[in-house]
Every structure is written in structure tokens, then in C-alpha cells.
Amino acid sequence: MTADGPMDADALTPLVYNELRRLAGAYMRRERPGQTIQATALVHEAYLRLAGAGAPWHDKRHFVGIAARSMRQILVERARARGAQKRWAALDRVSLSDSLAIAAHEESMLPALDEAMDRLEQVDAELARIVELRFFAGLSIEETADALGSSPATIKRRWALARAWLHRELGGTP
């Protein structure tokens, strides 16, 4: 498929459905009844963005990659629209560090996380990709490894590195 160069959204619609099923499946397996609709909706939204932009992609891996990036954008934009930065800035240093460790105020954290990820990308782009796939698209270690063409063991260690790096960048105290 890659041999023919980029294709447009139309030509890949059935393929997209397979990938959507896979992405949605990643949520379904978590088996949190009643909460999967939003995740599925997010996958759909990501797809709509891709289709709407007529974004060309090359293969399944590439699609999963841009879908994950798209999900990051959607969630961060939404958080910004809801005034997340203000709420995040209002946290003092101690409660901020606690919030990070217990994953509280996650929505408020998103814009700051987004900016930190931009900086991480300058240092090591792959680490930023891993965060997109794991945190924003909800892929497992194995699925992330598959999407990045790497081994699960390597992804697991780099995921730990990315989290540590972002934790520091967001102002967590060790």
C-alpha cells in the first residue's frame, strides 16, 4: 500500500473502519461499562477530523498515529475552551505535585501537558508519540509497540522515561 504513495480518506474508508474498530476495541477491552461511549465518540471525532481535512495517510500505522494526534488536539482544545489554564495556574506547588501523582485535575492539566509535549518532541519525538498513543488514544503497550514498529519491552521503558520527563516538566516534585 505504501508503494503507491499517499491516499486520500475516501480510498481508505474501509481500512479506516478497521482501524476505528481497533481503536474503539482498545477502549472496549478496558470494560468500564457506561463510559465507553465517550471514548468511542472521541475516536469518531478524530476520524471526522481526518476525513474533514482530507488528510492523506500512508498505511495503518500512519493512520493510528495521526488519529492519536488528532485526539490530543481535540481534548486539548476542549480543555482550553473550558478555561483549563486558569484553573491549573491557580494550583499551588504542593497541590500541583499531588494532583499529578493522583491524576486529579487532569483536564486542567491538558494545555500545560500539551506545551510540555511540544518541548519533549524537540528532545525526543518518539517519546511524544508514545504519550499520544498511550494517554490520548488509549492504546496498550503492545498496540503502541505495534504502531511504532518497536518491541513492547522498549516501549514500556520509554513510556516510563516520557512520564518521568513530563512529570518534571509539569512541575512535579520528586
Partner 1 sequence: MTPEQQRRVRDLFEQVVDRDPASVAAWLSTEAGGDPTVRQEVLSLLAHHSVAGAFLAEPIADRLPLLDEDESFASGSVVGPYTIDRELGRGGMGRVYLARDNRLGRTVALKVLAPHFVGDAKQRERLRREARAAALLAHPGICTVYALEEIDGELVIASEFVDGRTLREEMDGRRPPPAEVLRTAREFAAALASAHAHGIVHRDLKPENIMRTRDGRLKILDFGLARLVEDEEGDRPAAALRVTHTGVILGTPAYMAPEQLRRQTVDARADVFAFGVLLYEYACGVHPLHAREPIAVAPALGDVIARCMREVPAERFASAAEVLVALDGDTAARQRAPNARWWRTHQAVVAALYIVGAVLGWLIKEWKETPMTVAIFLALGAGATIGGVLRGHLVFTASMNPKQLDGERRRSSRATRLADLLIAALLFADGVLIAGTRALGAVTAFSLAIGILLAALLLEPATTIAAFGDAE
Residues that bind partner 1 (CB under 8 A): 10, 13, 17, 20-21, 24-25, 27-28, 30, 32, 35-36, 38-42, 44-45, 47-49, 51-52, 71, 74-75, 77-79, 81-82, 100-103, 106-107, 110, 123-124, 131, 134-138, 154, 157-158, 160-161, 163-168, 172-174
Q: Shortest distance, CB of residue 161 to partner 1, whole angstroms? A: 5
Q: Shortest distance, CB of residue 123 to partner 1, whole angstroms? A: 6
Q: Comparing C-alpha atoms, which of 77, 81, 9 is closest to residue 47?
A: 9
Q: Shortest distance, CB of residue 71 to partner 1, whole angstroms? A: 7
**CA–CA separation, 23 and 47 (whole Å):** 11
**CA–CA separation, 155 and 129 (whole Å):** 11
Q: Shortest distance, CB of residue 62 to partner 1, whole angstroms? A: 20
Q: What is the DSSP string of 65-125?
A: HHHHHHHHHHHHHHHHHTTHHHHHHTS-HHHHHHHHHHT-SHHHHHHHHHHHHHHHHHH-H
**Residue with smaller CB distance to partner 1, 59 or 170:** 170
